[in-house]
Structure 1
Amino acid sequence: MAVKLQGAGLGLRREMLDDVLPVLPGNVDFWEVAPENWIPLGGKYREDFNRCVKQAVFTTHGLSLSIGGPDPLDHRFLQELKHFLDRYNIELYSEHLSYCSAEGHLYDLMPIPFTEEAVSYIAQRVKVVQDILERPLVLENVSYYIAPNQQLTELEFINAVLSEASCKMLLDVNNVYVNSINHRYDPYAFIDGLPSERIVYGHIAGHYEEAEDLRVDTHGSDVIKPVWDLLAHSYRKHHVFPTLLERDFNIPALEVLLDEVQRIKQIQQAVSAEQQGVA
């Protein structure tokens, strides 16, 4: 049986393999990969990945499911994905609450209209995915820059999808912060409105300040203090959930990444101590 996530994790990219092998850093509790980036690979990449999964707990965060898209679900991909998850004994598969295909792949994450119709459509597709994978689908709140045909708030939409689809949530704290600036809402109130029992794990990352009222989710810089503070609040409001550092661009030295992973651990430990009444 797969081991459950705990502690602080780091996203694994192929260009990091030489730095993290032959022995994975011991202070990273779990690792995350995009399965699309590994499924087609053989040779040395597959050998290296095999070495990695034998040493640590792994989870997955997909890129191309397109759970809210108009195109039919890609059943061939879902079978390949199930084989990948089974082969490496990976328990969780997470994806974005968005879409990335419409008569072909769009190569970007597009915002789903916040409507009741979209909620029902997504819920039906989630159940199909879960039946095929024989695993829960964990959906991540995404950053978005326009809200087409909006009838519900972002928070109402997310809560409705989680409830109707009976699925779990990956809470991306940086996305909440980015959206709160771009769409002018209180990120703390947003966090407070989420269902604690649905949150399985979290993401934290850096972003780019395009303007005073515009943030762009890039995963290409260090996490800033307001986002760290929002993470601590999320732990206090809900529970100290496993949390992963995402860094996809401008990747610094491994030591810098490990320092941020350690900061996640420090916040987790501090909040746990508060909740247990330890001075």
Structure 2
Amino acid sequence: MGLGYRRELHDGILAHRDGIGWLEIVTDQFLNDPDNPLLETLRESFVLVAHGLEMSIGSRAPLDEEYLAAVAAVADAVDAPWVSDHLCFTREEGVALHNLTPVFRTPEHAELVAARVRAVEERLGRPFLVENISYYVDPPSEMTEPEFLTAVMERSGCGMLLDLNNVTVNAANHGFDPYAYLDALPLERVGQIHLAGNTPEGVLLAGPTGMETDRHDGPVGEDVFALLAYVADRVDLPAVMIERDQNFPEDFGEIADELRRTREVLAASGGAR
């Protein structure tokens, strides 16, 4: 069981270190300072995993070698067992989008992304996991999202960071069955899981056309815990963590309770190892 490191949770994390197995750091916060003393302090108590935002692995442009070198420096500094980023693009032709943008899902693009993933893994010298994103526009594509994710993983040999909150948000917004979505994935390739929740205020548009937004700003939802149990019934899960990005509770006990609840779900499902 792990937790996404956020500075707002720092004191609570250290006070509850016995109940947290590892931490996920946001790589991009340390690209210019991989030797930050904070990372060394955290390494004294936790395994650190590096999770990035701007690899833009789904782009058609050449890999940003400068960015990749900076990510590698952070991963090396914390001896990360793996590195992850989102299967999307965040920039194209020199334009920064400041958004995790979905790709056009075609067999040709899956092959291109897989080649980029292989190059990233070779440069990092450690496994690279691709994460499913939440999205509000689903461009017409030749492949479903599970088909595209599967193709990228099979052609590159990489693993997956499965964000179950993103699955629930997309299922609600685009009208698909989240369990069928999971059934269509090679779950044996899941190397890490994100759990999160959204406050009721997370609505993009009001009325019948309203869309749920992915905010990661609330307790883990019951629908997310149900999906976790479903996955854990089918495969062993090496690493599961809770991700809270905003609206942090004043009492860290709320986070600690979620960690305990997650362990209970995994134990009941027989999927923990």
For 2:230, the equivalent position in structure 1 comes to 233
For 2:66, the equivalent position in structure 1 comes to 76
For 1:87, the equivalent position in structure 2 comes to 77
Task: Report the alpha carbon displacement of residue 24 of structure 1 after superposing the two structures with TM.
Answer: 5.3
- In structure 2, relative to structure 1, the CA distance for the partners of 1:226 and 1:152 (3 Å cut) is same
How far apart, in 1, do the equivalents of 2:136 and 2:216 lie? Answer: 16
Q: Tell me whether 111-120 or 236-245 shows the greater mean CA deviation.
A: 236-245
Specify which of 10, 22, 33 is matched with residue 17 of structure 1: 10
8 Å contact 2:27–2:50 — kept in the other structure? yes
Task: Report the alpha carbon displacement of residue 219 of structure 1 after superposing the two structures with TM.
Answer: 0.5
8 Å contact 1:208–1:216 — kept in the other structure? no
8 Å contact 1:235–1:241 — kept in the other structure? no
For the pair 1:202 / 2:193, whether they are aligned, the reply is: yes
Task: Report the alpha carbon displacement of residue 208 of structure 1 after superposing the two structures with TM.
Answer: 4.8
8 Å contact 1:192–1:237 — kept in the other structure? no
Specify which of 174, 178, 185 is matched with residue 176 of structure 2: 185
> What do residues 155-176 of structure 1 show as CA deviations (whole Å, max 9, x unaligned)?
1111111111211011111111
After TM superposition, the structure 1 = structure 2 runs for residues 32-43 of structure 1, keeping only pairs within 5 Å, are 32-41=24-33
Q: Count how many residue pairs are aligned between Structure 1 and Structure 2.
A: 265
Structure 1 unaligned residues grouped into runs of 5+: 1-7
How far apart, in 1, do the equivalents of 2:129 and 2:70 lie? Answer: 18
For 1:108, the equivalent position in structure 2 comes to 99
For 2:269, the equivalent position in structure 1 comes to 271
After TM superposition, the structure 1 = structure 2 runs for residues 151-230 of structure 1, keeping only pairs within 5 Å, are 151-209=142-200, 210=203, 214-230=211-227
For the pair 1:256 / 2:247, whether they are aligned, the reply is: no
- In structure 2, relative to structure 1, the CA distance for the partners of 1:95 and 1:18 (3 Å cut) is same
SS at 1:95 equivalent: strand
Q: Which amino acid aligns with 1:97?
A: L
SS at 2:223 equivalent: helix
For 1:247, the equivalent position in structure 2 comes to 244
How far apart, in 2, do the equivalents of 1:208 and 1:69 lie? Answer: 31
Cα RMSD between the aligned structures?
2.1
Q: Which amino acid aligns with 1:206?
A: G
For 2:20, the equivalent position in structure 1 comes to 28
SS at 2:18 equivalent: coil
> What do residues 22-46 of structure 1 show as CA deviations (whole Å, max 9, x unaligned)?
x552101111011111232489xx2
How far apart, in 1, do the equivalents of 2:10 and 2:237 lie? Answer: 29
8 Å contact 1:236–1:271 — kept in the other structure? yes
List, as ranges, runs of 4+ consecutive aligned residues in structure 1 with deviation greater than 4 Å: none
How far apart, in 1, do the equivalents of 2:189 and 2:13 lie? Answer: 32
Instruction: Give the share of equivalent positions with the same residue, in percent.
Output: 34
Q: Which amino acid aligns with 1:164?
A: R
TM-score by length of 2: 0.90
SS at 2:69 equivalent: helix
SS at 1:64 equivalent: coil
Task: Report the alpha carbon displacement of residue 84 of structure 1 after superposing the two structures with TM.
Answer: 1.7
> What do residues 131-156 of structure 1 show as CA deviations (whole Å, max 9, x unaligned)?
11111210011111112231111111
Specify which of 44, 48, 59 is matched with residue 58 of structure 1: 48
8 Å contact 1:95–1:138 — kept in the other structure? yes
Specify which of 117, 125, 128 is matched with residue 116 of structure 2: 125
Task: Report the alpha carbon displacement of residue 16 of structure 1 after superposing the two structures with TM.
Answer: 2.6
TM-score by length of 1: 0.88
8 Å contact 2:106–2:141 — kept in the other structure? yes
8 Å contact 1:24–1:52 — kept in the other structure? no
Q: Which amino acid aligns with 1:268?
A: L
8 Å contact 1:208–1:217 — kept in the other structure? no
Task: Report the alpha carbon displacement of residue 238 of structure 1 after superposing the two structures with TM.
Answer: 2.2
